[in-house]
Amino acid sequence: MNLAPGARLGPYEIAGRLGAGGMGVVYRARDTRLGRDVALKFLPQGFAEDPERHARFEREAKLLAALNHPNIAVLYGLEHLDGQHALAMELVEGEGLEERIARGAVPLEEAVPIARQVADALEAAHEKGIVHRDLKPANVKVRPDGTVKVLDFGLAKAWDEQTSSSDLAFSPTITGHHTRAGVILGTAAYMSPEQARGKAVDKRADIWAFGCVVYEMLTGRRLFEGETVSDVLAAILRAEPDWSLLPSDVPRPIRRLLARALQRDPRQRLRDIGDVRLELDEVARGETAAETIPASGPPPVAHATARAWLPWTVAVLGAALGVGLTLNSMRSRSSGMPTVRAYLLPPEGATFAFDGATGGAVISPDGRRLAFVAGGAASPRRLWVRSLDSLTAQPLEGTSGASYPFWSPDSRFLGFFAQGKLEKIDTFGGPSQVICATGEGRGGTWGPEGVIVFAPAVSSGLQRVPSAGGTPTDVTRLDRAHGQTSHRWPVFLPDGRHFLFWAGSPESAAQTTSGIYVASLAGGEPRFVVHADSDALYAPPGFLLYILDQTLMARPFDAGRQELTGEALPVAELVSNPESYRLGRFTVSQDGTLVYLAGQPVRGQVSWLSANGAEVGTVGEPASIIGSIRLSPNGQILAEPVQDPQSKNVDIWLVDLARGVRTRFTFEPTEDDSPVWSPDGSRIVWSSNAKGNLDLYVKSSSGAGDGEMLFASDSDKAATDWSRDGRFITFTQLGVTGHTGADLWILPMSGDRKPYPLLATRFDEGNGMFSPDGGWLAYESDESGTIEVYITPFPQASGKWQVSQGGGEAPSWRSDGRALYYATPDGRLMEASVTARGSAVEVGTPHEFSKAQITGFGSHNWDYAVVPKGDRVLAVRSVQTAPTPLTLVTNWSAGLRR
């Protein structure tokens, strides 16, 4: 649900959203009856659909509301608000303990009072027979006056099913029925061994969790740090705590209570949290003689065998990740730990935005969280972050239009590109911050020394900038002699000084010099590493991961010498990789967790759409449509670039709209794209990489004869329009004038046919479209920091007028020249009136022309065509019927086929 500030539900006035989790969404609200601020936690829909469960929850909530202790956040009651069920709870101001630990280990003098108050809260609840069952730093808040409040007491048990003690309802995730929403009942890192085995729990489970929390406060690290869900659960059952991480000033009583609280066998564990309070009182009285626990730690406990814990681990991992498909596990050949495969679905009501213009998912270096771009019908595309031990993902406010996210080395911040800027955001809270202005960026990487290396534009070298913000400086330059038109997708190697990146011509990557290079912050010439169809990531303990022919490969790599040391081995097949972007849909963490998007390329269906956006017909069969579709001047034939699923060649096909017959127009084993019709419909100009770079060719639209080369150069180019008088073709060419972006060029079709730049600045300009009378040219530019549509006079660009507002691309003139269409960042098709007044134009306020959703912003393709009458729209629609899940693999290298 999504409630705006000021909304009223019963006596409560919403002030703002506080957060969300498996148990529901939480809002700050004002109770107008009692004049107090409260936290309203709205419970999931499945709660209201189970009357028996609801009644039992009410009974349990009454018991919880009876808890009255200064260190326990009060549950005021269970409310029924406009058909929704919510818990009204005490609103606790202050810093969460999770946030405090994220800033570093908590000093002893600060940690002991916090631990003492948490123990008091647990003791008061245990005396009333209430077990927390979900104690963790995220459920502890410290008010500005130092008072500690423990949140969500007993809610896990209240939500739980009434089943036998061996049922999985007592495990971290309710999985009894797929029709119910799974709810995390305990975070894996703080679960007791009996919880991990799915057994009944009592107050000793809280004592174990208390030990985990105190250990984390004192060390600044989780007791089982750096592990994914399955590995954390395995460590809970088998691994010993690393006592050497405790600071030397930790006194004997605290070391002793940690050793006793963290006994795996509950019979050997502290039986009462009151004993903990006594130990802490000893510290408060001054007994501080340090005593190091022996390396062997607490008395040994029999470990569960892999056969005992693996099936449960796999089941929990599947449920905790919102699995929609089957799981498959196999024993590791190298470490004895399991390789677990699971599938991750997008957030409810949203879809992953994994097109080339937004990037893919990125896992944090510590392997705990996943960031991605997603959006839905009711919300714009923005960044989301999902903890891999949670069912839910959280959107990051202020990241609308974000693309190509990348993590900071400490797994706290995300860098990303949006609206012509490189920005960063703290994923634990806070607004986004601008690092520097940029063009249409193509990836970044954040080094351990506070340096970000990024690609500022489609056709540019790489730049570096301090992560705190500043002026970017060049760090690589394009090698145009070897056909390089782009450096993109940088990633630091472990030393923080060298970095990998993809270099070449994205549209012509078959050349042997296109692929992965390594460079240094210290300068010098980049060095070629390996040919690849995508970017490359470094994966410990020593592999490069990259895509060749849709197969994700792992190749042994010495990061210190930056050299390959062995042959490539296949990891996964049919891994998604938009060819024109060269960005593979895979990501890997330092702890060996791999996430990738697999499956056949999404096919497109050209559809007829009415003005209200309804589909009223289709054109031809679904196909892998790559690039722009263009309608013939008479509106009867559609030209569309289609990729062959086997050869990966892209050819232009012509579709007779009346008969639905598709005819192949180009036949070379190349990439043929960007078709443009001559004004009389007799010829078509297009781009082909037959000679290496994308050059301009033309031939009869009847298909007779061979293509004639119109213009070739050492840079990629794409025609975008042909003037109505037949005298000029406009095309976009990448960065041949020395600046970092694309330029708008004109090719005369008479005389010496020598092309010239019409607009060539340090900004990106392109996608020009002639007005019907030939006196004006509409085009795109990112000079404002956002891609917008402008109009300039032609043939002399003596001024400009901005047409779009808030982002616009792919302009197209109405047949009478009195209006201009364009696409917006959120996929709407807009129309703005255009009136020529001598040497100037008057542009009207843009309005929505059609409810039809156009392909996402940033593609620069004409994925729509308005018919001459202006009453219908042709648009490319995805024929994907269900969201494609991400595949998650733990301990991925164990499955390499050597």
Could you list the active site residues? Answer: 134
Give the angle 433-435-437 at the CA atoms, nearest 5°.
115
**Contact by Cβ (8 Å): 817, 802:** no
- HSE-CB at 58 with a 13 A cutoff on CA atoms is 9
Listed in sequence order, the residues at least 6 apart from 561 whose beta carbon sits closer than 8 Å to its beta carbon are none
Tokens of 276: 């903990």
**Contact by Cβ (8 Å): 737, 757:** yes
Residue with tokens 């969300």: 20
Q: How far apart are CA 7 and CA 13, in angstroms?
A: 6
Cβ contacts of 730-738, under 8 Å, gap ≥ 24: 730/758, 730/768, 730/769, 730/770, 730/777, 731/696, 731/755, 731/768, 732/765, 732/766, 732/767, 732/768, 733/757, 734/458, 734/459, 734/485, 734/486, 735/457, 735/459, 735/460, 735/478, 735/485
Helix, strand, or coil (residue 789): strand
User: In this structure, what are the phi and psi dihedrals at residue 230, rounded to the nearest 5 degrees?
Assistant: -65, -40
Q: Which of 33, 47, 35, 37 is nearest to 14 (CA)?
A: 37
The helix (run of H) or strand (run of E) holding residue 141 is strand 140-142
Tokens of 124: 């008061």
**Contact by Cβ (8 Å): 766, 783:** no
Residue 898: exposure state from Cβ atoms within 10 A (0-12, 13-18, ≥19): exposed
**Contact by Cβ (8 Å): 7, 25:** no
**Contact by Cβ (8 Å): 764, 781:** yes
Cα–Cα distance list, 767 to 508, 743, 757 (Å): 20, 9, 13
Q: How far apart are CA 417 and CA 399, in angstroms?
A: 9
Angle between helices 203-219 and 108-127 (to 10 degrees): 170
Give the angle 625-631-635 at the CA atoms, nearest 5°.
140
* Count of CB atoms situated within 10 Å of the CB of 394: 17
DSSP state of 625: B
**Contact by Cβ (8 Å): 92, 143:** yes
Cα–Cα distance list, 196 to 238, 329, 588 (Å): 11, 18, 26
Q: How far apart are CA 37 and CA 674, in angstroms?
A: 58
* CA end-to-end distance (rounded Å), the chain: 49
Based on C-alpha coordinates, what's the Rg of the chain? 30
Let me know how long the chain is.
898
Helix, strand, or coil (residue 126): helix
